[in-house]
Chains A and B, each alone.
Chain A
Amino acid sequence: MKNQNRRDFLKTAGVLTAVSCLPINLVELAFADSRKNFTFAYISDSHIQQIEGSKFVRNWDRGLIRAVAETNLLDPKPDFVVFGGDLAQLGKKSELDHGAEMLAKLNYKTYCVMGEHDYYLDLGEYWSKLYGDHYYSFNHKGVHFIVLNSILTYDDWTYNRWPTAEQRMNEMAGLDNPNGSPFMVGEKQRQWLSKDLEKVSKDTPIVVFSHSPIQKIFKGWNFWTDDAEEVQALLQPFDDVTVIYGHVHQIQYNQIGNISFNAVMATAWPWPYPRSYAQNKDFVPKLTVPMNRANPFHERDATGWQLIDLDSGRVALRYNLYDNTNRTVAYNPLTGRPEDKDFQDKAKRIPSQEHY
């Protein structure tokens, strides 16, 4: 009912729609140490897809264009933007170029994360020309940020299994393709991470950006990282750790020990929750209050982008959902876990959040 009202309102609002979705300067900042507070925006999973020549799938283009335009309108301005991976659909130069051209319109410094759709054609070579290293870290206002390339897999699958690079890309691109292979961070990168963390004091807040979840949710769709436990073990000794991931195209959040997990939406299309697949057991974290079921008659429903507040080292994610009611998932220091601001209480949930 609530959604319908909002939809009706948006219809009447007409050209003002874009602006009405953006009550962003109303975000409350209630922090202990105000010097540490800042925001950044998170855009992910645009899946820019070439049809032929200069023709691209209009639907996916619109999703990214809108995210960039809305992010540029933010007031106050975010300190930077993160793009969470899957810029392209089939890793082609033409797709990465077209996506990069749209991303370049952002008025802010942009950090990029590798997605499997960007990687498995040329193993990230062209992506590197555009965005540099596949994994790296940086410090910003007292927070240590780590960008991982978590979509690697077993060498045998990557190097020996497929006769052509195009086929390798196609096999990994199909989410439910049984010929795919589980994602992983891998030994080499874990060693780098362990070294990188040596310099960081235990009370420094850590925020990790990865494409896959760094937790095990559903292997059948690669909502999964095979060496998740090993990576988690490196992060657990720190007081405040947050992992922000893309790939799943839906709202998810979880708490494992000291580590908070938050997923972001895609700008391209939403995915069903694993529980909607009848031949599968449900491993989505119990903590998660799902996004609303998507209405396919609204092309941009259940897609969007995020504004993230760093609340003294923990995050509050505001999901800006193009054709739906916005949601906020924030770390609650009293319970020690991320919670939905409006719907965490079971009694407050609405029928649209029920997936089957």
Chain B
Amino acid sequence: MRRIAITATVAIIVTGLMIVAMLRADEFTEKDQQRWQQEYMSVVAEGRELWVSPDLGTNGVACAQCHPNAANTHPETYPKFQQQLGRVVALRDMINWCLMNPLEGAPLDLDSREMVAIEAYVTYERRGVALAPGKH
């Protein structure tokens, strides 16, 4: 009996919250936008830190040593065919490839916080460039 009561209460609260959320779904303020941008930029900053870090791999080499300002990473071209891997791959696959080779490191989980941060940084440095999927 008690369990049913609790479940019912939770259901009512959740439904209530959903209604509130639905009512406000298309409303956001400039302040919201600023906060979201700040959230994004803080992840970009995390990515930049990883980019210049001698500790991301095992040999002290940093991504920035060969890719200043993330140049030559071409995020706008992904997914694309990598002839040496023999298939169409995501940007994350090439991030891990460079991590495992010039940095002699272990690959990052594809959905890890670090991977997202590195992608955020790389694409931020490339802002304004038109998408060119598949381009070598």
List chain A positions with a Cβ less than 8 A from chain B.
49-51, 57-59, 174-177, 220-221, 269-272, 276-280, 293-297, 299, 355-356
B33 within 8 A of A: no
A174–B52 CB distance below 8 A: yes
In angstroms, Cα B43 to Cα A330, docked, is: 47
Q: Name the 8 nearest CB pairs between A and B, nearest first.
A: A176-B68, A272-B71, A272-B72, A297-B84, A276-B71, A175-B68, A277-B71, A176-B69
Closest to B126 in A: A278
Taken together as a complex, chains A and B put the C-alpha atoms of A105 and B12 apart, in Å, by: 81
Q: How far is the CB of A324 from chain B (nearest CB, A)?
A: 15
Binds A, one of B14-22, B58-66, B108-116: B58-66
Min Cβ gap A252→B in Å is: 16
B61, B64, B74 pick with most chain A CB within 10 angstroms: B61
Q: Is the interface of A mostly helix, strand, loop or mixed?
A: loop
Distance between B58 CB and nearest chain A CB, rounded to angstroms: 8
A residues in contact with B2, CB < 8 Å = none
A59 touches B102 (CB 8 A): yes
8 sample A-B contacts, Cβ–Cβ < 8 Å, listed by A number: A174-B64, A175-B68, A271-B68, A276-B71, A277-B71, A278-B127, A293-B72, A296-B101
Contact A272 B67 (CB under 8 A): yes
* B125 within 8 Å of A (CB atoms): yes
> A51-B59, A296-B97 are known contacts; what are 10 more A-B pairs with Cβ within 8 Å?
A49-B61, A58-B59, A59-B61, A269-B65, A272-B67, A276-B72, A278-B125, A278-B128, A279-B69, A296-B101
Do B66 and A269 touch (CB < 8 A)?
yes
Contacts of B72 in A (CB 8 A): 272, 276, 293-294, 355
Question: Among the listed A177, A277, A293, A296, which residue makes an inter-chain contact with B125, where contact means beta carbons less than 8 Å apart?
Answer: A277
B129 contacts A by Cβ under 8 Å: yes
